[in-house]
Structure 1
Amino acid sequence: MQNTSPINILLVDDRKENLLSLTAVLDSSEYNLICATNGEEALKLTLQIEFAVILLDVDMPIIDGFEVAKLIKQREKSKHIPIIFVTAHGDELEFVTRGYEIGAIDYIVKPFQPENLRSKVESLVSMHRNFQEKLQHQSFDTIRFAGEIAVGIAHEIRNPMTTVFGLLQMFKSSHDRPSDSMIELMLSELNQANMIMSEFLYLAPNKRVDLERKDINQLIRHISPSLKKLAEDHGIVLELNLKDALEVSIDPKEFNMLLLNLSKNGIEAMQPGQKLMIHTYLSPTGEIVLQIRDEGNGIEENVIPHIGTPFFTTKETNKGLGLAVSFSIAKRHNAWINYETGDQGTTFSIRFKPDSDR
């Protein structure tokens, strides 16, 4: 997406003839040249307008170019703007050094060569355009992602809410009291909607975590009866291979959800009689590693790019949030997830950094 709107360039010089000279050299339909005749005016403009580059004369009365540059670099809104000093002192080492220390990226020495000036400015303008286009693409990607999330939530919640709405409409036109089974059905559907929203909240990168120093093996053993029951319901054998005490700062509730989601994903990928293995160990680099391995047929190649994408699923009864939530939990704990997959099964490894490296 090419941005063709003119780029703002600020020219600062107390001498009008110098400004006329700069504007004559840089005159182009691609540039919006804005002039300031003193430092105070330049500072006000940098707060009001976004500039791609500033050409700043050093020898100005009241506030010289060095002081103006220093103030520009101190302000959050303008500190990123590249500054080119325009001066007659470019051959003085101390003078040049001071400018670079303040934050200038280049010098133009008077009298300047027009082609040299144009080349320097064009280079900085090109960098500015590229940066703005990247930001714009990121914004569009964020908006599109948010839209996909909203559509996914609406779709998942609409089903249980439609059931409840239909039953309430039926009871409204009837004099009979709802049966206990109907009430249970409505409560179940509302609970399903609530669970979807709760899972969605776990996707938030800034969700608060309550960290505690815990041995992850103890957490796994504590939840293992639930994991074993889930595995047995699918005819799967659960095998634990837990090494010595492995302590890390972690939110126990989030860890349990991470373990449950990845285990459930592995269990559902297998046939009865196959095995799900949960393994923990300390890596040579000091990382605490949780490994979950299944014996399924592996992840299909066309599915791999979508791993961790909210609401993407290949299963009819799955909401597609489990892996997305797992990746978010890992990120909040300064951990990362990698995986290996093939026709002999899939292994997810969650690597927690030592607390000293966090």
Structure 2
Amino acid sequence: MILIVDDKQENLISLRKFLESNYFEVDVASSGEEALKKVLKKTYALIILDVQMPGMDGFEVAELISGYSKTLDTPIIFLSAVNTEKKFITKGYETGGIDYLTKPFDPDILLLKVKTFYKLFEQAQEMQEMQETLKKEIEQRKILENKKDEFISIASHELKTPLTSVRGYIQLLERLPDIRNNEKYKSYLAKTSTQLDKLRDLIDDLLDISKIESGKMKFNLQPISIEKLLENTIENVTQMYPTHQFKQLGKCTATILGDEMRLEQVLLNYLTNAIKYAPNSKEVLVECKLTDDNKIQIGVRDFGIGIPSDKHESIFDKFYRVEESSYKFQGLGMGLYICKEIIARHDGEYGVESELNKGSLFYFRLPLKKANDDTEKSI
């Protein structure tokens, strides 16, 4: 709707008919005071304001309209038959007007301006509605996100208890003479134990995510020998996967400040992924080097299926799985997200270099720090 403000009825009638004949909805006010009352009650796409009016003139009305938060962005076109000098035109713009026309005006020019400003108003309204909708969607997702994290935390803790009990019963069964002397039963129990290990790892990942989201994951920062960290991790993974070869390239004698258990968790995740996503390869490389900016870079290289370049930025996102491989390989896409958070809490960097069908290099870089007294912090 357009508001026309003029103290002369003949001007109001003629301009109103002209705009209504061009399919605009129009409201009128015969004084500045009446106009102010109307703009506080209604929203107008445009205000056409006469300058010379008794009592409150157009400039004063424009200043007051521009001072209201509700009408701050309402466009104002000044119309004047008397105040046509440059100083009045300048004052019109200074008081909040976006255009200044002098009478007699060209109806076609006025119509073009009205259409333009009306269109801009409609676009601004659409943008505002989109922003409000988006804001509501974001808030709704944050509600859902909080509920999901709460559910993950509760479910993970609840699953730990029966899992521990099942593990205990399996260990008891393994000790029974009838089981120890029967290869078929032993095979069944071994397979069950393997599946329980997978379930345990899944629950541990869920618990880690819950701790990360709630800021309760604790880090015990101590001096760590990089060489010792790599040696221990490679030894552990070799015992888990005796059919694979793990070769270390490069020697890192540096000592950093970090949480050894958490950093080993990152390495183990990289290594098990390298095995998982390279089913036709038995070799995994562990690379270590000092970067040009004096950081330690540790990487795990496989010779597997690789990752498309357009997926590199998303691979560390929570619950993200590459579509091309999701139907072949099990997992919920939590491991790399947890690794990312652990590395970030060590002030480190992470990344991946990969080509489809040519393997991948997952790496992280840690800054060299002076190892002071043992420290513990919560994140």
Q: TM-score range by the shorter chain?
A: 0.5 to 0.7
Per-residue Cα deviation, 1:17-51 (whole angstroms, up to 9, x for no partner): 22222221221696442222222332333333332
CA distance in 2 between counterparts of 1:149 and 1:321 reads: 22
Q: Compute the displacement of 1:64 (Å).
A: 1.0
Question: Tell me, which stretches of 5 or more residues in structure 2 are unaligned?
Answer: 169-201, 216-220, 238-245, 253-262, 276-283, 323-329, 366-379
> How is 1:149-188 mapped onto 2 (pairs within 5 angstroms)?
149-155=142-148, 157-162=150-155
CA distance in 2 between counterparts of 1:76 and 1:236 reads: 67
Query: Which amino acid in the other structure matches residue 87 of structure 2?
Result: E
Q: In structure 2, which of residues 37, 43, 47 is the aligned counterpart of residue 44 of structure 1?
A: 37
Q: In structure 2, which of residues 11, 26, 29 is the aligned counterpart of residue 33 of structure 1?
A: 26
State the identity as a percent: 28
Question: Tell me, which stretches of 5 or more residues in structure 1 are unaligned?
Answer: 1-7, 171-177, 182-188, 203-219, 242-258, 283-288, 331-336, 350-358
Q: In structure 2, which of residues 308, 321, 346 is the aligned counterpart of residue 300 of structure 1?
A: 308
1:62 is paired with a residue whose SS is coil
User: Partner residue of 1:273?
Assistant: 285
Matched, 1:316 2:309: no
Q: Compute the displacement of 1:277 (Å).
A: 6.7
**Contact 2:63–2:95 (CA<8 Å) still a contact in 1?**
yes
**Contact 1:90–1:107 (CA<8 Å) still a contact in 2?**
no
1:162 to 1:291, Cα distance in 2 relative to 1, 3 A? closer
Larger radius of gyration: 2
**Contact 1:299–1:342 (CA<8 Å) still a contact in 2?**
yes
CA distance in 2 between counterparts of 1:41 and 1:308 reads: 61
TM-score by length of 2: 0.53
User: Partner residue of 2:70?
Assistant: 77
Q: In structure 1, which of residues 44, 49, 66 is the aligned counterpart of residue 59 of structure 2?
A: 66
How many pairs were matched up?
Answer: 291
Query: Which amino acid in the other structure matches residue 75 of structure 1?
Result: Y
Q: In structure 2, which of residues 90, 93, 112 is the aligned counterpart of residue 97 of structure 1?
A: 90
1:200 to 1:122, Cα distance in 2 relative to 1, 3 A? farther
CA distance in 2 between counterparts of 1:306 and 1:52 reads: 43
TM-score by length of 1: 0.56
Q: In structure 1, which of residues 113, 118, 121 is the aligned counterpart of residue 106 of structure 2?
A: 113
Query: Which amino acid in the other structure matches residue 123 of structure 1?
Result: T
Per-residue Cα deviation, 1:121-145 (whole angstroms, up to 9, x for no partner): 1101111222222333344344444
CA distance in 1 between counterparts of 2:28 and 2:298 reads: 63
**Contact 2:149–2:210 (CA<8 Å) still a contact in 1?**
no
1:191 to 1:52, Cα distance in 2 relative to 1, 3 A? farther
CA distance in 2 between counterparts of 1:120 and 1:132 reads: 18
CA distance in 1 between counterparts of 2:10 and 2:160 reads: 81
Query: Which amino acid in the other structure matches residue 87 of structure 1?
Result: S
**Contact 1:85–1:108 (CA<8 Å) still a contact in 2?**
yes
**Contact 2:286–2:298 (CA<8 Å) still a contact in 1?**
no
What value does the CA root-mean-square deviation take over the aligned residues? 5.7
**Contact 1:298–1:341 (CA<8 Å) still a contact in 2?**
no
